[in-house]
Structure 1
């Protein structure tokens, strides 16, 4: 299903001290005229810390006070830890292969100890013991996956522990669209796995006066009730202030309706296998008018889900609603981390916790992809993305980049070999930023 690359073309970071780059020429005049400062160059992430809007915080406080949520706090922490450490459900074929391997091993061990010829009954007894042993070993070694049933209590726990980081991450990701297309005006929004409504809060931060339809899908009625109550400022009898707001438990069967922005955030983990995840991505892509946004936690498993979605859409047959990787990838090649399971492509976002719990600044790791309908514009600069925290040293900075050629590069920007603007842009950049540079193929190697 997914594209393949030769292992020889892949490494965690291919050290490249002999390639010189220069600042994007289209930005030079703006830097010279002080329109841009190197520490706030166009590739920097604008949202570095986020907090839930005050009106939403106030509504959450009312709801948690009315629900006596203090008693749920410890359980909410356990839920948060479970969600971060969650693994993917095992595929049926993988279990069968593992069972066959274990059966082989146990059979050899058991039969090597038998020195006499067995009767038919003895043979059946031995096979029964082998199967029991295999089953017990599988129970210990196979991840016991189950989707989470979000009742009222569990939904409140999720609100307490996940609303703040989820909202901050959504704000950070959606700002990629706002930054590149400041005049973009989406008219509709589709949220798959809408939960407590963080997707709606985030899109309203940027486009509240533009969006006329919010279509929220979540299998949990308790989550829907909670999301509506928050939008109603925590008051059950208040009329819904947000017009065009719809909730459903399942994906609609109709394929005719399309939405400008389609979101799946922290939701695909609830599906039982890769087949169902890809079927869902296909449905969501079919409903996408402009942007499909997929976000998961930054673990190996979360990154695998995001990369599945990316590869699936980018590998659709020609003419079948084709698109390209809008962000964070500067290319449509196979993700150079796809085979490197120990190093997922992830990013970090800081957020303020709910003051109701304990006012604090924390950070969350996440993986994401924004897929855009259509073909990549010919004037897309495809600046390289910084995929790990830069290493800043005296007189030089080391940046680890994913480039438009689908390669991972480690580049040293030093005072002696680069002009001041390029050097300062690299030195002031952070993990997740794009560097506004282009390869200089005509320059001599350094």
Structure 2
């Protein structure tokens, strides 16, 4: 088969000669066996597709034919009515021969002529791969993209040393099956880095129990007051530490002292000191945030149930789902929920691990909240037949430091503690009671993020006075490193937070789809080295919304080297598998990062 009949219609005459020369050189250097093929029998398809324009082509030198590829060409030539192309491992002559066939076939269909000169039917039009953008016709478009530029695709079959003087060819993937190292047989939309959940709904027993309790209480203006409580909890800030107040007072004192000296008023020292003190205290009262302490009685507990039950459950189950997804062998048998509130942590844990959990210890300082949580477990009534068994409510943590739990959870609890020292003491106590994983969840505000980073830094430094468990802490999620948070270093306006969609309680006739913005931290007990080791790539966390654009995806990644990077993932530079994984990922998922020192913004070419 002459190469002129293969690609003569799609390449200039001078290009054909150069192409044949490169192929002959490749055959001689690689010592590949090549034979002269037999001329295949011509059929009416030659006239219909290849010679439809009735232009005569001049005879050209035959390109060397390789036996294995020639066998594929013969098979495809005998079944040329099929316009579907096998994209698994296309040979270079399959690419060249079918390119001419598809291009002429499309031209015939666009002109409205098909077999025997009749107008093409709808079925004939759909036989050819479409040129639609990524979407429902994604697979078909990929088949056509393999046929694009047959000269470059054919040259990629040889080593760069052979074709280096001909053109600069960038290979997208070295081996098509290297993706198994990361995908592990999963489809791209379910690659191992996907940890997000779809829209979360409350368990049916929990939702029915909550509605029963709220309707029985008959709280006035429930919806409006619940929205106000939600806004208040979101805008709430930490109380300023005494050291920060002293620093502000010293700065204000110097400011007012300099102002009095410039005014040159003749006043005594005592009067001057009293005036400055009065001005400093007045300014501190005006500029200092006054934190309100909430006392969760029965009425406030009902408002909290209407406002935060569904959102808190969505954030907790999203954080716990990462443990279940990335560590499927971990099956907890005991749970400690610090600041349990309405018991959202127990419900979320039971949804993921079911009856494997044999003990739930829920600790909350409010007795009224514990009573409401017990009613929810009992279906809105007393706990005669609870939905979840073996749930125990306490108002104080267990005293013994030797008692440990497989899973320790503190959701929206650390922000209720007033001072930094009290928070650190609570964190050290929770860590001593952790056997496998410690999960901390807070609001996705700057204060919530900073509270979690304080806990992270304190645990990694290991400044506990008494250590009962020698296993060191390791950051499991969301950080992919144990360095300082890059968003805190750069003082980013947007904290490190994530979103989870959920359906709210149907207080009215319809449920609303809302989003919960939260920050979380998971610390694990590492046995020597429990960190995940990957050959050729590290994991990066998507810390912003993924922007899907035509032919590329814009991602913001927190990398294993502690840097925030903006990456544009394309199929050409990063491979089709990497491109599909990035396109199917979302905010909060993990993506593989390629080990390469000279280009920090390049994502792994080979999954």
TM-score range, shorter chain: 0.7 to 0.9
Tell me, yes or no, if the aligned pair for 2:554 and 2:566 is still in contact at 8 Å. Answer: yes
Tell me, yes or no, if the aligned pair for 1:22 and 1:440 is still in contact at 8 Å. Answer: no
Map of 2:497 onto structure 1: 346
Map of 1:336 onto structure 2: 486
Tell me, yes or no, if the aligned pair for 1:39 and 1:425 is still in contact at 8 Å. Answer: yes
Map of 2:72 onto structure 1: none
2:445 paired residue among 289, 294, 299: 299
Task: Please give the alpha-carbon distance, in whole angstroms, between the structure 2 residues aligned to 1:227 and 1:373.
Answer: 30
Map of 1:429 onto structure 2: 585
Structure 1 residues 412-439: Cα deviation after superposition (integer angstroms, max 9, x where no partner): 2123223211111112211111014432
2:590 is paired with a residue of what secondary structure?
coil
Task: Please give the alpha-carbon distance, in whole angstroms, between the structure 1 residues aligned to 2:195 and 2:557.
Answer: 15
1:45 paired residue among 195, 217, 225: 195
Instruction: Name the count of aligned residue pairs.
Output: 422
Structure 1 residues 259-282: Cα deviation after superposition (integer angstroms, max 9, x where no partner): 000001110011111111111111
Tell me, yes or no, if the aligned pair for 1:268 and 1:277 is still in contact at 8 Å. Answer: yes
Change over 3 Å in CA distance of 1:125–1:303 after alignment to 2: same
Task: Please give the alpha-carbon distance, in whole angstroms, between the structure 1 residues aligned to 2:503 and 2:320.
Answer: 18
How far residue 338 of structure 1 moved from its aligned partner, in angstroms, is: 2.4
2:594 is the counterpart of 1:438: yes
1:185 paired residue among 325, 331, 344: 331
Map of 2:545 onto structure 1: 389
How far residue 24 of structure 1 moved from its aligned partner, in angstroms, is: 12
Greater mean deviation of Cα atoms: 124-133 or 177-186: 124-133
Change over 3 Å in CA distance of 1:348–1:412 after alignment to 2: same
Tell me, yes or no, if the aligned pair for 1:189 and 1:211 is still in contact at 8 Å. Answer: yes
User: What TM-score do the two structures reach when normalised by structure 2?
Assistant: 0.65
Map of 1:4 onto structure 2: none
Map of 2:424 onto structure 1: 278
Task: Please give the alpha-carbon distance, in whole angstroms, between the structure 1 residues aligned to 2:478 and 2:182.
Answer: 24
Map of 2:507 onto structure 1: 356
Map of 1:139 onto structure 2: 285
Tell me, yes or no, if the aligned pair for 1:400 and 1:409 is still in contact at 8 Å. Answer: yes
Map of 2:574 onto structure 1: 418
How far residue 88 of structure 1 moved from its aligned partner, in angstroms, is: 1.2
Structure 1 residues 222-255: Cα deviation after superposition (integer angstroms, max 9, x where no partner): 1111111100100136344533221111222210
Runs (5+) with no aligned partner, structure 2: 1-170, 603-607
1:435 is paired with a residue of what secondary structure?
strand
Task: Please give the alpha-carbon distance, in whole angstroms, between the structure 1 residues aligned to 2:206 and 2:285.
Answer: 44
Task: Please give the alpha-carbon distance, in whole angstroms, between the structure 2 residues aligned to 1:193 and 1:267.
Answer: 5
Map of 1:263 onto structure 2: 409
Structure 1 residues 75-100: Cα deviation after superposition (integer angstroms, max 9, x where no partner): 22111111111111101010011112
Map of 1:76 onto structure 2: 226
Runs (5+) with no aligned partner, structure 1: 1-19
1:272 is paired with a residue of what secondary structure?
coil
How far residue 411 of structure 1 moved from its aligned partner, in angstroms, is: 1.6
2:572 is paired with a residue of what secondary structure?
coil
Greater mean deviation of Cα atoms: 288-297 or 95-104: 95-104
How far residue 299 of structure 1 moved from its aligned partner, in angstroms, is: 0.6
Map of 2:522 onto structure 1: 370
Tell me, yes or no, if the aligned pair for 1:286 and 1:321 is still in contact at 8 Å. Answer: no
Alignment of 1:10-409 (within 5 A): 28-29=179-180, 35-116=185-266, 118=268, 123-236=269-382, 238-316=384-462, 320-341=470-491, 342-357=493-508, 359-374=511-526, 375-377=528-530, 379-381=532-534, 382-409=538-565
Tell me, yes or no, if the aligned pair for 2:374 and 2:383 is still in contact at 8 Å. Answer: no
For the aligned residue pairs, the C-alpha RMSD in angstroms reads: 2.7
Tell me, yes or no, if the aligned pair for 2:379 and 2:386 is still in contact at 8 Å. Answer: no
Tell me, yes or no, if the aligned pair for 2:566 and 2:601 is still in contact at 8 Å. Answer: no
Map of 2:51 onto structure 1: none
Task: Please give the alpha-carbon distance, in whole angstroms, between the structure 1 residues aligned to 2:434 and 2:182.
Answer: 37
Tell me, yes or no, if the aligned pair for 2:551 and 2:571 is still in contact at 8 Å. Answer: yes
Task: Please give the alpha-carbon distance, in whole angstroms, between the structure 2 residues aligned to 1:361 and 1:251.
Answer: 36
Tell me, yes or no, if the aligned pair for 1:330 and 1:404 is still in contact at 8 Å. Answer: yes
Change over 3 Å in CA distance of 1:231–1:442 after alignment to 2: same
Task: Please give the alpha-carbon distance, in whole angstroms, between the structure 1 residues aligned to 2:600 and 2:228.
Answer: 56
Tell me, yes or no, if the aligned pair for 1:395 and 1:415 is still in contact at 8 Å. Answer: yes
Tell me, yes or no, if the aligned pair for 2:559 and 2:593 is still in contact at 8 Å. Answer: no
Tell me, yes or no, if the aligned pair for 1:188 and 1:212 is still in contact at 8 Å. Answer: yes
Greater mean deviation of Cα atoms: 415-424 or 184-193: 415-424
Change over 3 Å in CA distance of 1:344–1:320 after alignment to 2: farther
1:147 is paired with a residue of what secondary structure?
coil
Change over 3 Å in CA distance of 1:407–1:443 after alignment to 2: closer
Tell me, yes or no, if the aligned pair for 1:22 and 1:439 is still in contact at 8 Å. Answer: no
Change over 3 Å in CA distance of 1:287–1:21 after alignment to 2: farther
Change over 3 Å in CA distance of 1:84–1:376 after alignment to 2: farther
Map of 2:43 onto structure 1: none
- Structure showing greater relative contact order (alpha-carbon pairs closer than 8 Å, 6 or more residues apart): 1
Structure 1 residues 105-147: Cα deviation after superposition (integer angstroms, max 9, x where no partner): 22332454354353xxxx4344333322221211110110133
Change over 3 Å in CA distance of 1:421–1:93 after alignment to 2: same
Structure 1 residues 394-421: Cα deviation after superposition (integer angstroms, max 9, x where no partner): 2111211112222222222123223211
Structure 1 residues 17-68: Cα deviation after superposition (integer angstroms, max 9, x where no partner): xxx99899997238899x4222221111241310111110000011000111
Change over 3 Å in CA distance of 1:102–1:24 after alignment to 2: farther
Task: Please give the alpha-carbon distance, in whole angstroms, between the structure 2 residues aligned to 1:146 and 1:36.
Answer: 50
